[in-house]
Amino acid sequence: MRTISIIDPEDPRIAGFRDIRERDLTGREGLFVAEGEVVLRVLASSASLCRPRALLLAEKRAEALKDVIDALPEATPVYVVGQAVLDRVAGFPLHRGILALGEKPVAPSVGTILETVADDDVFLIASGIGNHDNMGGLFRNAAAFGARAVLLDQTCCDPFYRKAIRVSVGAVLRTPSARPEAAEALVEAMQAAGVEVLALTPSATQRLADYRRGGPVAVMVGSEGPGLPRAVIDRCRAVGVPMAGGFDSLNVAVTSALALHQVASVGPTRSPGC
């Protein structure tokens, strides 16, 4: 098993992993840090849209990851350190003992993603999602229910933030996502491509459970609290989930799971003779 032992936390070869929390906030110029075995295995898999640049592992974790290490390109360095050194590099106790530095994929335009659209395609659109836990949950749900892509507006947080990747259990690394655009532009592009857009909102009069799609569909969710802008809702088909006990909405990740399950489990309806 090819590994490189590091004993100095200031070694320049592992500079990309240093002070993770602070650099999560400032960005890494096209790179990201992935944490944990599940996420690493997604990053190193054939399903990943991203390229691993380097691994930093606690000594106690290296042997269990031999299959992943052996499958990496020869040019990908795998650094192995003691737990104390790893904690110094990360800037906090890193109990999982596994970090990877990866390259973000080149995000296509929305137009490129929509060049071909099939009747059974499902998309997820997110507007104003600033919480990284929710962002990770959205990507996890999109992957679980077979959404073709997740489209973000310009007010969303970065899905390649370490915590968002971790919450998504690696789905961020394998789910296509376009360059961010304004929410209105995303709706317009979808509709121009023949995709119906469902706006999830508590103000809707149509129940999500009663919706039956006739072709490709996009589920659009907004931030908790403000929700989707009225101007956006008015351009879409508004659907909602009735609440009991005085509640008016669910967590956005939970809402997206309900909606994606509904549209994915009930295929397009076709008129007789089609």
In DSSP notation, 18-57 reads: SSHHHHHHH--SSEEEEESHHHHHHHTSTT-SSEEEEEEE
Average pLDDT for 3-17: 94
Per-residue pLDDT at 271 exceeds 50: no
Give the pLDDT band of residue 219 (cuts 50, 70, 90): very high
Same domain as 120, residue 95: no
Give the pLDDT band of residue 267 (cuts 50, 70, 90): low
Same domain as 139, residue 249: yes
For 10, 57, 83, 185, 200, the CA distances from 139, given in Å and listed in that order, are 35, 26, 31, 21, 17
Q: Which two tokens stand for residue 247?
A: 């509640």
Cross-strand partners of 197: 218
pLDDT of 249 reads 76
Looking at 42, 76, 103, the residue that finishes a domain is 103
Same domain as 247, residue 221: yes
- Token look-up 């908790």 returns 224
Same domain as 155, residue 80: no
Per-residue pLDDT at 176 exceeds 70: yes
Per-residue pLDDT at 93 exceeds 70: yes
Looking at 57, 74, 103, the residue that finishes a domain is 103
Q: 153 near 248, Cβ under 8 Å?
A: no
Per-residue pLDDT at 167 exceeds 60: yes
pLDDT of 25 reads 57
**Helix, coil or strand: residue 203:** coil
Q: Residue 271: inside a domain, yes or no?
A: no
Residue 188: give the domain boundaries.
110-265
Give the pLDDT band of residue 95 (cuts 50, 70, 90): confident
Q: Which of 89, 107, 98, 90 is nearest to 158 (CA)?
A: 107
Q: Which of 124, 86, 117, 90 is nearest to 20 (CA)?
A: 90
pLDDT of 233 reads 96
Per-residue pLDDT at 232 exceeds 80: yes
pLDDT of 147 reads 97
- The pLDDT tens digits of the residues spanning 233-245 come to 999 999 999 888 8
Q: Residue 217: inside a domain, yes or no?
A: yes
Strands 4-5 and 149-152, bridge-based pairing: unpaired
Q: Rg of the chain over CA atoms, in angstroms?
A: 21
**Helix, coil or strand: residue 6:** coil
Helical residues (DSSP H) of the chain, grouped into ranges = 20-26, 37-43, 59-62, 66-71, 83-90, 110-113, 132-144, 162-167, 183-192, 230-233, 252-265
Q: Which amino acid is at 195?
A: V
Half-sphere exposure of 121 (CA within 13 A, CB side): 20
Q: Residue 272: inside a domain, yes or no?
A: no
- The pLDDT tens digits of the residues spanning 59-86 come to 999 999 999 999 999 999 999 999 999 9
Average pLDDT for 141-169: 96
Q: Give me the CATH number covering residue 235.
A: 3.40.1280.10
Per-residue pLDDT at 1 exceeds 70: no
Looking at 54, 83, 103, the residue that finishes a domain is 103
Exposed/middle/buried for 93, CB within 10 Å: 0-12, 13-18, 19+? exposed
- The pLDDT tens digits of the residues spanning 55-66 come to 999 999 999 999
Average pLDDT for 166-171: 97
Q: Residue 28: inside a domain, yes or no?
A: yes
**Helix, coil or strand: residue 46:** coil
Per-residue pLDDT at 270 exceeds 60: no
Half-sphere exposure of 215 (CA within 13 A, CB side): 12
Same domain as 220, residue 124: yes
